[in-house]
Chain A
Amino acid sequence: MSVELDVFVGNTTIMDKEVYQLWLNGYTVNDAVKVRIEGGVMEECEASADVLLSDTMDQYRTFQMCERLLHHPAKLANQLLFQIPPDRQAMLIERYYAFDDLFVREVLGKKLSKGTKKDLDDVSAKTGVSLKSCRRQFDNFKRVFKVVEELKGPLVENIRQHFLLPDQLARDYAAIVFFANNRFETGKKKLLYLTFQDFAFCAGQLINHWTLGAVDSMMEDMDVDLDKEFLQDLKDLKILITDKDLLDQHKSLVCTALRGKTSVFNEMEANFKNLSRGLVNIAAKLINAKDVRDFFIDLVEKFIEPCRSDKWTSIDMNLFLTHYTNSAHILDTFKHHAVWTRYMGVIKSCILRMYHD
């Protein structure tokens, strides 16, 4: 005695958000049923475990049939097979493309290759995110990456239009694509304190200010790569540390401005040259792809860590960076104002974002 076949098809496709989430999280049907029972849905509707099982199976089947469409969200709106109200469609897409911060933190900046995919079981074990869910998230990253990789125009906008994602999610994906493309190192121990959102913020800064698209959105090249010309120009900033006069002048301007305004003035004064060297050296090296990858680790090692050991507050940090940036413009012999602004603007907001415990 057994139910051989059991299907339910509605003219409007019925989808339970809760079950959808369980499916996305990689629960098996039986586990999902257990979770639902614990959730108390049974008492709520006078249902039995059998009913719950039947419903869960049915929904899982529906989701599996929809998954193909979710890979190309634009198709979801134009397909005829499932009649899904637009708000539901948006929900399906948004949740399908949602990801765990813990998981993304593990693969951020890694090459989205088969090799990485093979290591997902380790990631799964480490993060507690089920392997199924890891795979889905990884495949999502990869799919988005592949589609927007060679597209013209603004990255975020491309993602939003191709995958019909809400703005914030599209930005996050832009960050993921950007990191994957530039292979930023994010896994070093020193960087572990940074969350995905920290990186996503920085990525946003970089995308908005350092890529070619930032200068001219109609340019042939894309948003995913840093502006080579700009990187080249960054080398010119070296004068700030190689020219001793400039360095001293810069230091005195900053110290004058900050005197009495910060509690860590002495530490700052003592460390100024090191800090400035750190920042300018990062700029000068960015032309090398390898150093681009180390951008964040460099920021932490060369700047954030020294400041942190001196117990700067973020207010101190803000003050310093503001005056450090502005003072350079007053320097007589310093000519690279545009590059400096473009560089320091991003560096400042990145550091401020990254400067926490």
Chain B
Amino acid sequence: MPGKLKAKIVAGRHLPVMDRASDLTDAFVEVKFGNTTYKTDVYPKSLNPQWNSEWFKFEVDDEDLQDEPLQITVLDHDTYSANDAIGKVYIDIDPLLCSEAATVISGWLPIYDTIHGIRGEINVLVKVDLFNDLNRFRQSSCGVKFFCTTSIPRCYRAIMVHGFVEELVVNEDPEYQWIDRIRTPRASNEARQRLIFLMSGELQRKIGLKVLEMGGNAVVGYLQCFDLEGESGLVVRAIGTACTLEKISTLPSTATHQSNSSPSKDMKEPVFGEEVPGIPLSSGPPTPLRAQTFSSFSPSKSYSRQSSSSDTELSLTPKTVRMFLCPSTPALESISSSLPSTHMPCHLRPGMASRSSTPPPLHVSQSDTAMLRKSVSFSEELLLAASGMGSGGSAGKEAGPLKALLRQQTQSALEQREYPFFTLTSFPSGFLLHVGGVVSARSVKLLDRIHNPALGNTRSYKLLDWNSFTADEPETRDAWWEEIRQEIKSHAKALGCHAVVGYSESTSICEEVCILSASGTAAILSSRFMQDGPLDTEHRLSRQPLVFSTGSERVEGDMGSSASLGFEEVVPPGCGFCHIPYDELNIPFPAQLTYCYSCRRSKVPDVLFTTIDLPADANITGKGCLIQARLCRTKKKAQGEGNATAISNLLPFLEYELHTQLMNKLKLRGMNALFGLRIQISVGETMLLGLASATGVYLTALPGPGGIQIAGKTPSDITYEQHISNMQKKINDTIAKNKDLYEINPPEVVEEIIGSPIPEPRQRSRLFRSQSESSDEVSELDLSHGKKDAFVLEIDDTDAVEDIHALLTDSPTPQGFYSCNTEIMPGIQNWTSAIQMFTSVRVFRLNNANLTNQGLNKIFSDLCENLLKSLYFKLRSMVPCCLCHLNFTVAIPEDELIQVAVTAVAMSFDKEQILENGKQSGEKTLTKAITENDEQLQFNLELNPESSHANPLSSPKGLSEVGSHPSARASSMEKASPLPEGRSRSLRSNRSYSGTSVAVVKMTPLSFIPGAKIIKYLGIINMFFIRETTSLREEGGVSGFLHSFIAEVFAMVRAHVAALGGNAVVSYSMKECVFMENPNKNQAQCLINVSGDAVIFVRESELEAASVQPQSTTHTSNGGEGT
């Protein structure tokens, strides 16, 4: 019995009228946890009841505390008939279980009903007394901190990064249970909401257990998703990165660069490793291993090779593929064409050799379906190669054997873990050494339908099968993901990388077909955070990282322990991550390599694609911008396996075209790298949608992109020629304009150096490597073509013309606007404190059924473009501003409908820094004015002199006061409460005298708040809501319905954060927005899942004040969110 949960129901307000006769409500509250339910008294005839209940106490296992939400139901008492439910509040008490998070939940929470939306608010107090549980076999994982943030949270320091954790939980979807036929929509929705709350809790607990096993204390980059598989169930799955975090003391003085400070201490001069002359190990250990993995996985990469491809191969493709890359180098051409075209069929085969664990799905005969789950799987590597993301052995060449050895050890250590994946997208400095490129894998699966001829009715059958159903389901799903992860892992290996960073997983489901996708960035990481903390040795033998410790100790043994710190592969901070991790000789794909334009020591690819954020110390030129590739493909309606096969066959073309589009658009903007790449493929009955978003940037270390050249196939025609040259001119103009717009003007000297003999480092590398002769030849070849316009678009039919037009139709962002989909906008730093988070959803109906791929593409592209334009217009008052973390999600909710949802934050920035201060002080005075105004209006002020509309929190030292304060506030409120309503109608007046009691809560999808410092993480917010209506027209149609629902979701998130004592949500995301409508029946339903980290932040200006006067920061900043 290790925990006691206590809840107190204080009051309600703005309740709906439940009794038409009196226009009042007789409200009471049920408080339920697990199987225990308490009730308050009925507070008769009031819309603002004051229950002021006793403390309801629940004595429960901490396991339950993690799994179960506290469920508060507000009801209207009815003497003669059943009590009517007004609505519910689910409170996730997980934040209270961690000593470093919130200590009390107290505040006004919206009462939510799935049919009516928010119906008033309820004031509650919730606390948990947790007893220490030292049971080794415990099932709970209280105390493990969860963060949605995909970087090391701001007020923590990473002691160790343990690695990937994943878990999934499966259950039957209540919406599809037999009982759903007889229960009300409300009951069904509530069952679903509750189930998902339970499942999320369980999932989180299980992940927590894994983290504890690994010796960690936190999960960073926690990503939880739902798969609504319909008939076949409901899957909740999560991935994250287990870490050991240490809180940085909250002293403001040490605060600024916490995450970087300690780990980088041992960062020595950049090329320490190089000084150690060659040791014969140099190419020994790594090469065989790489070669091995490489060869075994070559089939799966065949497609990427084709991207630079020959005509024969293309002839196999559907006729829409007409725009293709023409390799500029004959040498490369020969390399690629030497790969026989037989790769294609091999590639299209659904099962791969590497996935022998799954039965070859296509061969499963119809007869044994009752037993076997059919699955058609297909997977394919993202076309890293088409971009020529480089190749070859920078490490071996430059820093030589020692580095290679070290890397090898990190690698071998990483290989010991099942999946060397990291969901982080930005890293403590020195952690990320090299980036290989994007790796991705997709697999098409058929969700099983259980047929049972004996019973005939699938629903009743399911009821009987409940136990077995839930029992074996997770394994199947686990196996599916395992396959994908294995594939990702092998792709990374093929790129010479031992880890995958910026890793994420997603699904798209349509009827019974499910596409599972995973993607990440192959990378080489420093072992620094994976072995022991740099200084303290006592951790050295802790369980999980043992692998690494032994690894590093061995090194020390070999090399002498004094050098241990220096063994870390040290890379130049500004460009090191661009240096290719793979062996130049075993180029996994044709690529043009050049020497790094920054340090000139290592090879870099000509283009770099990644799923991570731009490293903070990366050298860039100019500003970044959002780049999107959009694609729509029609597909024949089909069922079952046929459908899955059809989709499998389409996928590679889709990815190829997306990639080509990305590449073209990147060149068009004069940039050479993509960060935060996210490719979403959505499947519908008659089409597939592909949307790739990324932030383009010009990396100083990489060569400048060549232009785009257009070549016609029928040169005889003069008008055609003219047409082409017109187009070429347009393209060149656009490139020039974009370079201007994004301020991309790399130093000109660069050219000269390329041509000249490679300077000193190369000489040295020649000394190191015996086989350097051949590699030199290759690099010289590369260099000779580096200057040229390497990119040729061939036009041979109207489709291609269309494509180029489409390329040029992306309208530029209006004056004063920038956009990106990453955490920080490359090239902009001086943010003001004005931020505006928003969600926008559009659904588009395609009315004419017979659309060509081109037509669809245009529609889809226009849809996205127009949405962006609308956003710019909406936010014009914030100019100059940047839309950061623009996260698009596409879906095909039903045939002929395309849904696009965007969540992002608009952040103003100053051209000059000076403005910042003025603005902030202005805001401050405003706040002050409000407070004064407040006091003036506050009813019965003397009873609660401390209470302000700000949160009762956040003096750095006084966090312990939190517990007492809200209750004090509550009791003062009781005293201040107006006379019973029956007595006078002046109640209204009394209530209205009080000023606003609503604290401002900022929301942002980013992990930080500009101009402010996060001083405390209060816990994860993970909420799931369903809203349904049977009076769609009355609620303002679909738009009105969704508008109010999203507003309600925001309101509930804010209220829960405020109740935890927070004033912001960071890393906020809307992970699911499933919208279904039936206008004929006047009905609609929507499911939304949101998550984020509740935090307390303090304005930096106030922080400064606090350091002078420690007592003065008792109020958190709640300055109005400027628009």
**Chain B: CB-nearest residue to A52:** B873
Contact B839 A9 (CB under 8 A): yes
Chain A neighbourhood of B836, CB < 8 A = 10-12, 14
Chain B neighbourhood of A218, CB < 8 A = none
Chain B neighbourhood of A13, CB < 8 A = 1047
Contact A5 B986 (CB under 8 A): no
Q: Is A242 an interface residue (CB 8 A)?
A: no
Sort chain B's interface into a size bin.
35 or more
Known pairs A7-B1046, A64-B1036; A78 contacts B998 (CB<8 A): yes
Most central of B108, B870, B1002, B1122 by chain A CB within 10 Å: B870
Which of A81-89, A176-184, A347-355 is the contact stretch?
A81-89
Chain A neighbourhood of B844, CB < 8 A = 1-4
Contact A45 B814 (CB under 8 A): yes
Contact A5 B1075 (CB under 8 A): yes
Which listed residue, A8, A46, A162, touches B814 by the CB 8 Å rule? A46
Contact A81 B930 (CB under 8 A): no
**Chain B: CB-nearest residue to A76:** B996
How many inter-chain residue pairs (CB < 8 Å) link A and B? 180
Contact A4 B845 (CB under 8 A): yes
Known pairs A55-B873, A74-B992, A78-B998; A11 contacts B837 (CB<8 A): yes
Known pairs A6-B842, A8-B838; A79 contacts B14 (CB<8 A): yes
Which of B19-27, B184-192, B362-370, B1049-1057 is the contact stretch?
B1049-1057
Contact B108 A80 (CB under 8 A): yes
Q: Is B989 an interface residue (CB 8 A)?
A: yes
In angstroms, how far is the closest chain B Cβ from the Cβ of A353?
32
Chain A neighbourhood of B994, CB < 8 A = 78
- A25 and B1051 CA atoms in complex are apart in Å by 29
Which listed residue, A2, A51, A55, A86, touches B996 by the CB 8 Å rule? A86
Contact B869 A51 (CB under 8 A): yes
Contact A9 B1046 (CB under 8 A): yes
Q: Is B866 an interface residue (CB 8 A)?
A: yes
Q: Is B876 an interface residue (CB 8 A)?
A: yes
Which listed residue, B859, B870, B1055, B1120, touches A54 by the CB 8 Å rule? B870
- A7 and B1037 CA atoms in complex are apart in Å by 11
- A47 and B991 CA atoms in complex are apart in Å by 44
Contact B873 A45 (CB under 8 A): yes
Contact A9 B1036 (CB under 8 A): no
Contact B1047 A82 (CB under 8 A): yes
Q: Which of B543-573 contact A (CB under 8 A)?
A: none
Mark B41-64 against chain A: 1 for CB-CB distance below 8 A, else 0: 000000000000000000000000
**Chain A: CB-nearest residue to B901:** A7
Q: Is A158 an interface residue (CB 8 A)?
A: yes
Q: Is A75 an interface residue (CB 8 A)?
A: yes
**Chain B: CB-nearest residue to A75:** B14
Known pairs A9-B1043, A14-B874; A86 contacts B989 (CB<8 A): no
Contact B1051 A80 (CB under 8 A): yes
Contact A2 B845 (CB under 8 A): yes
Contact B874 A8 (CB under 8 A): yes
Q: Is A269 an interface residue (CB 8 A)?
A: no
Contact B869 A47 (CB under 8 A): yes
Q: Is B1038 an interface residue (CB 8 A)?
A: yes
Q: Is A48 an interface residue (CB 8 A)?
A: yes
Known pairs A7-B840, A45-B873, A147-B988; A80 contacts B1038 (CB<8 A): no
In angstroms, how far is the closest chain A Cβ from the Cβ of B57?
28
Mark B731-756 against chain A: 1 for CB-CB distance below 8 A, else 0: 00000000000000000000000000
In angstroms, how far is the closest chain B Cβ from the Cβ of A79?
7
Contact A12 B988 (CB under 8 A): no
In angstroms, how far is the closest chain B Cβ from the Cβ of A44?
8
In angstroms, how far is the closest chain B Cβ from the Cβ of A173?
15
Contact B1044 A65 (CB under 8 A): yes
Contact A11 B1003 (CB under 8 A): yes
- A6 and B923 CA atoms in complex are apart in Å by 33
Contact A5 B1038 (CB under 8 A): yes
Chain B neighbourhood of A47, CB < 8 A = 869, 872-873
Chain A neighbourhood of B988, CB < 8 A = 74, 147, 162
Most central of A72, A85, A147 by chain B CB within 10 Å: A85
Q: Which of B104-155 contact A (CB under 8 A)?
A: 108, 110, 118, 121
Contact A158 B989 (CB under 8 A): yes
Q: Which of A36-70 contact B (CB under 8 A)?
A: 44-48, 50-52, 54-55, 57-58, 61-62, 64-65
Q: Which of B1032-1075 contact A (CB under 8 A)?
A: 1036, 1038-1040, 1042-1044, 1046-1048, 1050-1052, 1054-1055, 1075
**Chain A: CB-nearest residue to B1043:** A7
- A78 and B985 CA atoms in complex are apart in Å by 20
In angstroms, how far is the closest chain A Cβ from the Cβ of B914?
24
Known pairs A65-B1043, A81-B1047, A87-B1120; A10 contacts B985 (CB<8 A): no
Chain B neighbourhood of A52, CB < 8 A = 873
- A176 and B808 CA atoms in complex are apart in Å by 61
Known pairs A1-B859, A14-B836, A55-B874; A161 contacts B869 (CB<8 A): no
- 5 nearest CB pairs, A to B: A74-B992, A85-B1120, A77-B996, A5-B843, A10-B838
16 A-B pairs besides A14-B1123, A78-B14 with CB distance below 8 A are A1-B844, A8-B839, A8-B874, A9-B839, A10-B838, A11-B1001, A11-B1054, A12-B1120, A12-B1123, A14-B874, A64-B1036, A81-B1048, A81-B1051, A83-B1001, A158-B989, A164-B992
